[in-house]
Amino acid sequence: MHLISVTNNNEMSQKAATIISTLVTQKPNAVLGLATGGTPEKTYKALVMDHQQNGTSYSKIHTVNLDEYVGINPQDSNSYHSYMYHHFFKYIDIPANQTHLPDGEHASVDYCASYDQLIESLGGVDLQLLGIGRNGHIGFNEPGTPLTIGTHVVKLTPSTRQANARYFTDLSKVPDQAITMGIGTILKSRKIILIASGKDKAEAVRRLLDCSAPDDDFPASALVAHPDVTIIADEQALSLTK
C-alpha cells in the first residue's frame, strides 16, 4: 500500500481527482468504481471543475458504484443514486445508461450476482475509489464479512446507521440493509484509491496502515493483499499513525 499524506480535505480531494481525471484522459473508456458519503464530496467537485475547465470527457466512461440502501427508491433524495446524480453525474457528459448503481429495490441473490456479472461484462473496474468507515468497513462490508465474497446484501451495524443518520430526518429512517460490492469484487479492481479525512477516521487509518495480513474483523485489511492501493489521508486522519 502506498501512502500519500496531505494537509487537509481539500488537498486530499484534489489529489484523488487528479489521479481519476488523468486516468479518464489516458483511457477515455475506463470503468470507474465510485463511492458515496461525506469523504468524496470535494473529489467530485474537483472533477466537475476539471470537466468544466479542461473539458475532460466522460462520454465513453462507465461508472459502477459500491453500494445502495435496500428498500430505497432510486428517486429518493437519500438514495445513493440521488447522491451520485447531484454531486457528479448531472454536471458531466456521461450518458445516464453508462452509470450503474446497485438497485436497492432488487435485493435478491440473483440480482447481486448480476451486478458482479455486469462489472465483468464491462471489462472490470480500472480504478475503484473507496472511503473507510470508523470500524474499517469498505463499501458496506462490515466487520465479520468474509473477505472473498461478491456483491451481496448486508445488515448495517448500529454504528454505521448512526454515522449515516446525518443524511436522514432521524435514525429510524436509516435503512437497516444495503447491497454492496463484496470485498472479493473490490479486490478485482485494477487500481484502488482509499481516501480518508478527519479525526473520526484516525483509528481506522492507524489500523489499516498497521495491517500485515487480511483479517475479517477489520474489512479494509483485505487491501494489503492487493498490488495497487494508494491511500490518500490528511493530517487529522493520520494523527494516530506513528
Q: Which residues are catalytic?
A: 67, 135, 137, 142
How far apart (Å, rounded) are the C-alpha atoms in residues 137 and 240? 18
User: Which cell goes with 213?
Assistant: 495480513
Query: Which of 141, 182, 180, 174 has the alpha carbon at shortest distance from 158?
Result: 174
Comparing CB distances to ligand F6R, the nearer of 133 and 214 is 133
- CB of residue 41 to ligand F6R, shortest distance in Å: 8
Comparing CB distances to ligand F6R, the nearer of 48 and 130 is 130
Comparing CB distances to ligand F6R, the nearer of 115 and 140 is 140
- CB of residue 50 to ligand F6R, shortest distance in Å: 21
Nearest residue to the partner ligand F6R, using Cβ = 131
- CB of residue 225 to ligand F6R, shortest distance in Å: 18
- CB of residue 190 to ligand F6R, shortest distance in Å: 19
How far apart (Å, rounded) are the C-alpha atoms in residues 20 and 229? 14
Comparing CB distances to ligand F6R, the nearer of 29 and 77 is 77
Listed in sequence order, the residues at least 6 apart from 148 whose beta carbon sits closer than 8 Å to its beta carbon are 182, 183, 184
| b/e burial code for range 54-92 (CB count within 10 A of at least 16 → b) | eebebeebbbbbbbbbbebeeeeebbbbbbbbebbbebb
Q: Are strands 127-130 and 67-69 parallel, antiparallel or unpaired?
A: unpaired
Are the CB atoms for 42 and 29 separated by under 8 Å? no
Query: Which of 175, 173, 170, 169 has the alpha carbon at shortest distance from 157?
Result: 175
How far apart (Å, rounded) are the C-alpha atoms in residues 242 and 234? 14
- CB of residue 77 to ligand F6R, shortest distance in Å: 16
Comparing CB distances to ligand F6R, the nearer of 104 and 139 is 139
Q: Are strands 62-65 and 229-234 parallel, antiparallel or unpaired?
A: unpaired
Binding site for ligand F6R (CB under 6 A): 35-39, 66-67, 131-133, 137-140
